[in-house]
Amino acid sequence: MATFTGKSAEDAGYHPLPDGVRYQRTSVTMGDWGGYPPPLRVKRTLFAFWDGTEIPGGVAEAALPAVRALDKIFERYNYRLDDEADDWCWNRRKIRGSKKAWSSHSWAAALDINAKRNPWSYRFKSDMPPNMIREIEELKTETGKPVWRWGGRFRYKTSEGKYRGKADAMHFEIACSPADIASGIAGTKPTQPKEEPMALQPHEQALLDHGFSSQATIRAWFQELLGRPPGPAGLEYWTGLLDSGQYTKAQVFTAIANSKEAKAYAKRKESEAGQ
């Protein structure tokens, strides 16, 4: 993947923002996300990105629709998270270089993605495709508020031609309130299984018909269809679909069974059986 460098994001080839926007901090105080100073505990949930990466610590529950929208854009651009433990979310701490101001990470309302390839530096550097960033910055809630603010803009060129701030291209922070996010992300729909229920084998129908709890059901399906137990985020996601009542067992079962991983596992089992 290409790396973009320059004195600022715009110098590196990223689209310019409207006049004045780059100088504005988010108008939403992080107090909207749980009080100020940040609480010792934040309601968080684990989230698995499209490539299976789970960010330690989890994200604020109220931010999940925004994170899902971000994830969908990552997937469209095939942008993967490192498996080198350089992705973060919740961390109750002050902003780097400040003794007073709290970081938006303290409310689990910010993400750091691929820190090694997108460093905090006076010289801008990022491997994030410019068109991907454009899509992320154009995300709006149904109330018309921008969803994300990108740290790559933290270093900018003033009207006098001087550069200010440090680029933080790894960083994405929520730029609106929980109420704005609750209104919906414009142009997106809740993730849901689209497949029609598939014809099931007798042993699969037995899995579908048993009276286990939702968690036990998902664990059984993962073991049968994927040959492994679900991770914490995956268990929470699929269990949530079942418990929400929005989707039938057959729909959720079919969504897992039709996944790339399930098909690869079935093919591997078939190959091993034929040896």
Residue type (1 letter), 191: T
144: left (phi over 0), alpha (psi -120 to 50) or beta: left
**Lowest mean pLDDT segment, chosen from 45-59, 142-156, 196-210, 232-246:** 196-210
Q: Which pLDDT does position 121 carry in this prediction?
A: 93
Q: Regarding predicted confidence, which is higher, 165 or 97?
A: 165
Of how many residues is the chain composed? 275
Q: Which pLDDT does position 193 carry in this prediction?
A: 46
Q: Give the pLDDT confidence of 131-154 residue by residue, as tens digits.
A: 999 999 999 999 999 999 999 999
CA separation for the pair 171, 169 (Å, rounded): 5
CA separation for the pair 96, 106 (Å, rounded): 12
Q: Residue 90: which of 176, 174, 169, 27 has the closest Cα?
A: 174
Residue type (1 letter), 7: K
Q: Regarding predicted confidence, which is higher, 190 or 126?
A: 126
The DSSP H or E segment spanning 233 is helix 232-244
